[in-house]
Amino acid sequence: MKVLLTGSTGFLGAHLNKYFLGKGLSTVTPVRKPGNGNEQTTNIRLSALSDLTTKILVSENVGIFVHCAGVAHKKNVSADDFFRVNTELTLLLARRAAMAGVKRFIFFSSIGVNGASSDSPFNACDSGAPYDAYTESKYDAEEGLKAVSQETGLEVVIIRPPLIYGVNAPGNFAKFVKLANIPIPKPLGSIKNKRSFVSVNNLCDFTYLCLTHPGAANETFLVSDGEDLSTSEFLRKISKAMDKPAMLIPFPVNVMKRLAGVVGKKELIDKLVVNLQVNIEKNKVLLGWEPKVSVDEALRNALSQEKA
């Protein structure tokens, strides 16, 4: 049995492929350009993921399909693009996987499906509350996958991670690192929110467990490091991992939000100060999973490798 992994050239996909290979698995990776295949990885050159046919899945003896590829938040991405890739393509691939006899389909969704912020920690069983085209496209994909599962018997596992960080992580983590690198005082020392984060190390470990664990079938999971931090605390930990002073000074959050509104940065500050927590008790009870790597250790590993 092989694991087919989409998005293997992206941040999460590359880490997953390395982790799976380290566990002795054989992977199949659809790519646009020939990659560095080896005896454990088969690169399939495709011009588009929609060209991944049932015939290919059968010929490669794919037993598990891990779907990382998708369109994330970027400038100039239309709502149609989100739904075309994140929803329609996902469901097309799931149906082809079912026809090919693939046993399990693992889909990476987004914690944004639960909402933009949390008054109390989100749970996997909470009703969806997507708030933009991206999160709506992920939610629609989740609902469609459940329907495919009911129709075909394909086992579906849905994972909704919060902010993922690790070596060469893009997006918001890269912005945090850039902010920590600025050698001037920053008025972010008074933020007392609580946020969940997940290191790519812990996410890979959790995903590996979901490949075959019988308790994961047809379930939705939230995943984190199990250490909820304020934005200020996370920035201090990033600075410490880089052996740099945090230079965070106390400043009233309400004043900061008003000033941000004046200069057109209200949305950015809102994201920094809201709560966004997840409850991972389900993972512990149903799968026996605990995060193996602490935030401090994961940050040291990530940022020391980036410096190297």
Catalytically annotated residues: 134
Number of C-beta neighbours around residue 275 at 10 A? 16
Give Dmax over CA atoms of the chain in angstroms.
61
Closest CA to 10 of 71, 69, 73: 69
Phi–psi pair at 80, nearest 5 degrees: -60, -40
Cα gap 216→203, rounded to integer Å = 15
How far is Cα 238 from Cα 174, in angstroms, rounded to an integer?
11
- Which residues, listed in sequence order, are joined to residue 29 by a DSSP beta bridge? 43
Helix axes 295-307, 231-241, angle to 10 degrees: 50
Question: Which residues, including other chains, have CB under 8 Å from residue 51's CB and lie 6 or more apart?
Answer: none
Secondary structure of 191-225 as H, E, C letters: CCCCECEEEHHHHHHHHHHHHHCHHHCCEEEECCC
Query: Is residue 5 within 8 Å of residue 13, measured between CB atoms?
Result: yes
What's the rounded Cα separation, in Å, for the pair 226 and 259? 33
